[in-house]
Amino acid sequence: MASLTSKISISEINSLSDKQFESIFGGVIELCKDAAVQVKKKCPFQSLEALCDAFQTYLQDLSLEDKVVILKLHPDLAGRLADLGQLTQESTEEQKAAGLDKLTSEQKRILEERKNRYNEKFDFPFIICARENKIQSIMEGLQVRYENSYKEEVAIGINEVKKICRLRILDIVKE
């Protein structure tokens, strides 16, 4: 999270108030402050891995319906919110890392077409860890994953959210 000037340690995390913890970790799962509220209850954490595991477990233990809610909290890749500059700071940086801010008009058209088809089928946005992918792999992922079943795609989407969450935690916490 770029707003922090320096990373914080596990011991510092363990001494945070509930409000401080929520403020710092409220965005590691896109727009889901409840994750931070629930994970804070697991304090103290013995390590960075234990903190990451607590967020991973939070996601894994959600019902199918709640997992879909989490997926729907994520913005479309290179979508309207990005065009308007209204993404969270984390999403803005992640989409830039994938090159989604530099799409040609043809790439944007193809991406929009594939995203719309995907959204119509699954009723949630295509989720992929942008920092681990570039434009071509995102385009291919939209094609390949469109063939999945609803349950498969929810599971894959949540696994991508876990990757995003972990990277966001690593941006905040020093080992």
Using CB atoms within 10 A of its CB, is residue 154 exposed (0-12), middle (13-18) or buried (19+)? buried
Region of 123 (left: φ > 0; alpha: ψ -120 to 50; beta: rest) is left
pTM of the predicted protein model = 0.93
Residue 98 Cα distances to 46, 128, 133, 146, 158, angstroms: 33, 10, 6, 20, 19
Local confidence band at 61 (pLDDT 50, 70, 90 cut-offs): very high
pLDDT at residue 3 tops 50: no
Cα–Cα dist 160/90, whole Å: 15
Could you give the percent of the chain with pLDDT greater than 70?
97
Task: Name the residues annotated as catalytic.
Answer: 74
pLDDT at residue 29 tops 70: yes
The per-residue pLDDT for 6 is 87
For the chain, list the domains and their CATH numbers.
77-157 (1.10.3330.10)
